[in-house]
Structure 1
Amino acid sequence: MNHLKASLLAGTAFAVALTGVALAQDVPREDTVIFDIDRTIRDPENFNPFTPGVKRQHGAHQTMWEPLFILNYESGEIEPWLATGFEANDAQDEWTITLRDGVAWSDGEAFNADDVVFTVQMALDNEGLSEREPATIRAQVASVEKVDDLTVTFTLNNANPRFVLENFANRIFGSFLIMPQHVWEGEDPATFAFNPPIGTGPYTMTSMATNRAIWDRNDEWWGAASGFEDLPEPLRVIFLESGGEENRAQLMVANEMDAAQAVTLGTFEAMGFQNPNVIAWFDQLPYAWPDPCARQMEFNTTVAPWDNADMRRAVEMLIDRNQIVNVAYEGTTQASRSMFVQYGAMEPFISAIEEAGNGFSADSDVDGAKAIIEAAGYTMGSDGIYELNGEDLTANIHVNSASPEYTRTIDVIVEQLNRAGISARAVPVENSVFWGEVLPLGGYDMSYSWLSCGSVNEPWASMNRYTNASIAPIGERAPGFNNTGRWDTEATAAYTEIVEQMGTMPIGDPAIVDMVAEAHGYLAAEVPFVPLVQAAKLLPFNTTYWTGWPTADNNYNHPAFWWGSAHQIIHNLERAQ
């Protein structure tokens, strides 16, 4: 800690030098907000969001391109932005979106249904547009039609109650972005660089380099002119590549950065020691905001003895989640109570699960677990390891070696299992092998992952990943990394029936709450995976120049400022007094 504090002090000159070029303009520092980017802008001349590469989180979809809707993680509401509403037919295979009147592109041209229809049709007609958003549109949409200047109707290939949520609401990271027809028409969408870019947002691009993007406020922004929103207070927004954790800490301490990418607890505490204006989501431990992908441990349910639900449940009971929180995460996260991320919007479902007795405890039950293991015929050997027919009870846990977070967590679990009588060991695997072979092919006994990721305001997206709808044989790829442990029992069938029914119901149907609690009971009974802890994103914000950052106490939405929902963050910023 002392070394890091000294390093931060010594690095102040570096921090000022790093941002000096960006700020040597005619906009004062107190009118400029500076966000961290954690990667190089590899192609600063290309603004085509539909082809591979980093083209949006350096400010493009936070300041220039606006979404139709923004999902509020705390309330669960899909809030209007460029659009004002949506509705579906009874079959939920036709959706109509109503656009906001008065929206304009930064060059003065009107934004309307023609732009929406043009952009969606462009995605439908061009298989070469390979990014997730156009690919999802192609998979879901059969046709798109302009009803009038402010109304668009989508006809889907299949019923989908979550069509708007999945495509236009910034559910996770971004959404399908609408492009200006009058600029893109006649261009090859697979090669068009869209430079200089325009959008409907309150900022326009001033300059772009491999390590920095500068966006200046457009005082003619349609939102202020129409009364939708006041002009945001920052005159300039800069996205700056910090160059790593220590450098971003130096910039924050020197007040030359206002929002940083995730840091470790030690770095955050050192930053706060040098600059008391540095805050995070929580004002005390765990400090960190939970990333959408909660951490868990998968079982390969085809491999003995883990094909036995009782044995899987015994392992779950041996795991002390509090110790994982305290040792692997140094207190910067929370134990998972269910399969879900613990956002405000998910709390009704998690509470119902717990009230039904189908949740998971933060504490271990070693005696109860041992009783289950012994009932299965195992006896404790002289070496402290359970054995059956002369064979030790072993647990090999594959873990992605790309991050100390992953390996530290599994090291704690390995120690817990060994202490209880299971001969456990970690099997570290390089990132590409882990995601390319181990998980999708089922090449593990147990593995560390976050494969329940998906649900942030409703439960179906995560629960649908563990149905028996598309179970592949071991050695063949599990589609979409779904049910990689090949859980396929009578309980799976009952679980699947509930989840599939949920999938046909509108978001917000009150009957879903009890259905979630019932379905989760099958997961708690057979434990195809073990929910462990929430993912931790310790994101520092600096209040020296700007206040209004999202926090647990000021939770107008989540704090992921590299997402398209960051429009809300920028609009909530106020100059510090």
Structure 2
Amino acid sequence: MSEQPYVEQPHTEQLDNPVELSMSRRQVLQLMLLTGGSLALGNVLAACSDSSSQKQQSQSLSPTPRNQTVIIDQSPQFAVFDSFNPFIPNGQEYETGFGQICKEFLFYFNMVSGEIKPWLATGWKYNSNHTQLTLSLNPKVHWNDGTAFTSKDVVFTIQMLLGNTALIGSSNYTPYVQKVSAPDDHTVVFDLKSSNPRFHYNFICGIVGSQEIVPEHIWSKQNPMSFKGSPPVWTGPYKIDRTIPSQFMYVWKKDPNYWNKDELDPKPEYVVYRTAPSVDSEVEQFKRAQVDVPAFDYQHAVALKSSYSNIIIETKFRDPCPRAIGINSDPSKGLLADPRMHWAISYLIDRKTLGSTVWFVPTPPAQYPWADYPANDKWSDPAVASKYPLTYDPQKAKDLLDQMGARADSSGKRSYKGQPLQYEIMTTAKVGDPEYINGQKLADGLNSVGVGATIRFYESSVWTNKLNNGQFDITTWWLCGNVFDPGQLYTGFETSRTKPINQDASTGGNVLRSQYKDLSDLAVKLDNADPSASENKQLFSQALDAYYREMPLIPLYQTTYPTIFNNSYWTNWPTDDNLYQVPSNWWGQFLFVIGSIKPTGKA
């Protein structure tokens, strides 16, 4: 094994208050709400108004030549600098470049185009009943220590997970894999316990990442529960050069012996990921062209654009998870279990207004329970959707409440079976966050039609526990089920996958306690249906229809996260006009952005 990576003290200026993220996009929005926009916007403009700094010399923030380096900021504070083990808690910092340009995956899914790109593997195939999956590996691949990447590495990794349920990722295999074998150096065969036409999804980098494969020649000699894997031996085009904990910085250096230079030959010699400094400091560094991909928010970017010409603001990429409202649909919840109540709630949501005024950047309403990627059009069925328009219509909400027997008294308050209606909407978002506002607007809407409702913030761990155990009424949430096909979403509504209230339902996934026979039965059928087979298209449309009828998870609007780039030193970033790849710098797909950018020639 090679020597340990260099962990150094800084040779450059210290970051200004690296743990101070005092003006995140969340807090800017909160300030603007509290001050009518004047205070926050004034601070933003003050931080972004000095056009003369665009001409200032760009001193590198890292111990590398600026014109050979891409510098990427992240909001989370990095805490792990000497461990690269993805299988244990706190074993890695994946968003430091480790998961983007050092690791690689067997396949990559470009959500923009819908293309699945073979990488460490060249393809997959199933037997006729989807009980056996064969993966074909790319014979060109080698690890960054020169050792060949073979089927032994894949088999070792999966057997390691099968043999140790304490490892992160084990649950993706123990219920499903009977045996994994390697008939030759570039073929892996999975014998499955039952039909599973989606098992190959484990190996496609979809949201952020996918199954990591580790080198058998190194990991077989270690205890995976404690091994740090440092320096990291993976297959990507960059190797660790050093970490600088005092500056919350990872420095990656291009590997001259990278296995796939014929197809991906990145131009930056170095890539630096670091925890962002305070927003004001980061804005100044961006104006000096010291940062290529900042972490500051959309409000600062817009304010900066008027005085700094080298900024790119990409606003077209959707997060795969539309914002949503989740309903506890357990039969014991009374009206909340009635799909008519779900629709009454839906009619109280003004999606267009929420998307245009509440979210960080204007974003369209969601009609389907998935992101509006062109690649998802094949799952959409306009004929079905037209039967269930997600419109804002409080009168229809009142009519449905009356229909269910929840009539208003002389004061306008509604009750059901002699009990006043009162619900809590829980959220992990703090006051001023868009998702808090989503919940507050819904509470206002419910109160306006005589249904008592309040919103309450819970810390993430408390919220998760309440969600998993069914100890809630309504929650702000998101729709993340459909990564590759909607069958993944509908599985979470299967009756067999839930538990009674006060029991943890997270393992099965049906935490909303949805127990609607038609939706559940269709979801079970889709579990065993090949999503790529044209004959199953009608089954997907039937499931969409059943989803709309019951709608325990209500779509609100598309989730648009702006991405900001500086083209002073590097160009060909993803833009609204050329969104060629996922632009999110913490996703595995960012590998192809780094591989696509070009130097401007700036000294």
TM-score (norm 2): 0.85
Cα deviation code 1:413-442 (max 9, x no counterpart): 222333344332212223221111x21122
1:292 aligns with 2:320: yes
2 CA distance for matches of 1:158 and 1:244? 52
Residue 340 of structure 1: aligned partner: 370
**Counterpart selection for 2:435 from 393, 396, 406:** 406
Asked if the contact 1:38–1:244 (Cα under 8 Å) also holds between the matched residues in 2, the reply is no
1:103 aligns with 2:141: yes
**Counterpart selection for 1:417 from 417, 425, 446:** 446
Cα deviation code 1:174-217 (max 9, x no counterpart): 12222222222322222222222222221111111331111111
**Counterpart selection for 2:255 from 218, 239, 254:** 218
2 CA distance for matches of 1:389 and 1:97? 58
2 CA distance for matches of 1:380 and 1:56? 53
- Which has the larger displacement, 61-70 or 116-125? 116-125
2 CA distance for matches of 1:514 and 1:421? 40
> CA offset at residue 504 of structure 1?
1.2
Asked if the contact 1:439–1:481 (Cα under 8 Å) also holds between the matched residues in 2, the reply is no
**Counterpart selection for 2:507 from 473, 480, 500:** 480
Asked if the contact 1:277–1:542 (Cα under 8 Å) also holds between the matched residues in 2, the reply is yes
- Which has the larger displacement, 423-432 or 95-104? 423-432
One-letter code aligned to 2:230? N
Describe the SS at the equivalent of 1:514: helix
1:309 aligns with 2:309: no
> CA offset at residue 392 of structure 1?
4.4
Asked if the contact 2:361–2:562 (Cα under 8 Å) also holds between the matched residues in 1, the reply is no
- Which has the larger displacement, 356-365 or 504-513? 356-365
Cα distance change on mapping 1:485 and 1:12 into 2, 3 Å = farther
> CA offset at residue 338 of structure 1?
1.9
1:463 aligns with 2:501: no
**Counterpart selection for 2:455 from 402, 411, 426:** 426
Cα distance change on mapping 1:71 and 1:386 into 2, 3 Å = same
Between the aligned residues of both structures, percent identity stands at: 27
Asked if the contact 1:69–1:79 (Cα under 8 Å) also holds between the matched residues in 2, the reply is yes
Residue 14 of structure 2: aligned partner: none
Residue 469 of structure 2: aligned partner: 441
> CA offset at residue 562 of structure 1?
0.9
Residue 301 of structure 2: aligned partner: 268
1:366 aligns with 2:394: yes
Describe the SS at the equivalent of 1:215: strand
Describe the SS at the equivalent of 1:342: coil
One-letter code aligned to 1:223? N
Residue 36 of structure 2: aligned partner: none
Residue 143 of structure 1: aligned partner: 179
Cα deviation code 1:381-407 (max 9, x no counterpart): 454444567754433312224572221
> CA offset at residue 38 of structure 1?
2.4
Asked if the contact 2:51–2:308 (Cα under 8 Å) also holds between the matched residues in 1, the reply is no
Asked if the contact 1:338–1:360 (Cα under 8 Å) also holds between the matched residues in 2, the reply is no
Residue 268 of structure 2: aligned partner: 234
**Counterpart selection for 2:126 from 80, 88, 91:** 88
Describe the SS at the equivalent of 1:466: coil
Residue 176 of structure 1: aligned partner: 211
2 CA distance for matches of 1:468 and 1:249? 50
Asked if the contact 1:298–1:485 (Cα under 8 Å) also holds between the matched residues in 2, the reply is yes
Cα distance change on mapping 1:562 and 1:360 into 2, 3 Å = farther
> CA offset at residue 236 of structure 1?
1.0
TM-score (norm 1): 0.88
2 CA distance for matches of 1:514 and 1:443? 36
Describe the SS at the equivalent of 2:563: coil
Describe the SS at the equivalent of 2:435: helix
> CA offset at residue 293 of structure 1?
2.4
* Aligned length, in residue pairs: 553
Cα distance change on mapping 1:375 and 1:127 into 2, 3 Å = closer
Residue 35 of structure 2: aligned partner: none
Cα distance change on mapping 1:371 and 1:542 into 2, 3 Å = same
Residue 560 of structure 1: aligned partner: 584
- Which has the larger displacement, 395-404 or 42-51? 395-404
2 CA distance for matches of 1:389 and 1:185? 64
2 CA distance for matches of 1:325 and 1:20? 40
2 CA distance for matches of 1:128 and 1:387? 48
1:526 aligns with 2:526: no
2 CA distance for matches of 1:168 and 1:388? 49
Cα distance change on mapping 1:517 and 1:68 into 2, 3 Å = same
Aligned residues: CA RMSD: 2.7
1:125 aligns with 2:163: yes
> CA offset at residue 20 of structure 1?
5.8
- Which has the larger displacement, 388-397 or 466-475? 388-397
One-letter code aligned to 1:317? Y
> CA offset at residue 333 of structure 1?
2.4
> CA offset at residue 30 of structure 1?
2.4
1 CA distance for matches of 2:139 and 2:303? 49
Residue 235 of structure 2: aligned partner: 200
Asked if the contact 1:12–1:250 (Cα under 8 Å) also holds between the matched residues in 2, the reply is no
Cα distance change on mapping 1:373 and 1:40 into 2, 3 Å = closer
Describe the SS at the equivalent of 2:345: helix
